[in-house]
Amino acid sequence: MSLENLNKLVKEGETEDAKVLAQQLLQDGIDPLKMIETLTQTMARVGDLFAKLEIFLPEIMLCGEALTGVVDILSPYLDASGGREIKGKVVIGVVKGDLHEIGKNIVKLILETNGFVVKDLGYDVDSLTFIKEAEAMKADFIASSSLMTTTMPGQLEIIEILKSKGIRDQFKVVIGGAPTSQEWADKIGADLYCAHAKSAPEKFPAVLDNK
């Protein structure tokens, strides 16, 4: 049994079998982060099939559930190599109108296992809520995820509200999600764009140093 089999099970939405195999692969010494990365790529391929109408929504939902189930199994095994020192406080959420939360959940998990304190606002989060929660927590970072071109403007709105309240420089604004890019980050004036969750623990502190 291999990572390839795990991919197949997730792709087919076989949650229970995928969870059992993930456990087995852990015992075989496969790196849990590597498993998550591979499955993320699989999920993106599933999205392409959906776009080409080769599969339909129920299949994507099953696949999403299977990925979430596997991530739940793997999360306790991610290497908490970040130590005990708090590297920063983060509010994270998925922007208004967007229910895609799998990527955000992975980012949250990876930040937490690397020494960040994370307040998860969930999905379909109003821009003002990001800001209120960040102020309440005295967060260093406001991190938003958007998975649809139609909801990306929510990331811009967060920055516009921060500016209108005169508090833009109190927070580092981080964006992510499949349709977003460095170009979009530059356009809206975000402080950081991360294409992958894996790079987040390294990239977040780097922008904090410029605070």
The answer to the question of residue 206 lying near ligand B12 (CB under 6 A) is no
The answer to the question of residue 190 lying near ligand B12 (CB under 6 A) is no
The answer to the question of residue 196 lying near ligand B12 (CB under 6 A) is yes
Minimum CB distance to ligand B12 smaller for 25 or for 69: 69
Strand partners, 117: 89
Site string for ligand B12, 3-32 (x = CB under 6 A): ------------------------------
Minimum CB distance to ligand B12 smaller for 28 or for 45: 45
Q: How far does Cα 3 stand from its chain's mean position?
A: 22
The answer to the question of residue 148 lying near ligand B12 (CB under 6 A) is yes
Q: How far is CA 35 from CA 63, 169, 193, in A?
A: 15, 37, 23
The answer to the question of residue 197 lying near ligand B12 (CB under 6 A) is yes
Q: How many other C-beta atoms can be found within 10 angstroms of the C-beta atom of residue 136?
A: 10
CB under 8 Å to 146, separation ≥6 — which residues?
94, 95, 98, 152, 154, 155, 175, 177, 179, 180
Q: Which of residues 76-135 bind ligand B12 (CB under 6 A)?
A: 97-104, 106-107
The answer to the question of residue 194 lying near ligand B12 (CB under 6 A) is yes
Tokens of 115: 């020494």
**Chain residues in the site for ligand B12 (CB under 6 A):** 40, 43-44, 46-47, 50-51, 57, 60-61, 64, 97-104, 106-107, 143-145, 147-150, 174-179, 194, 196-197, 200
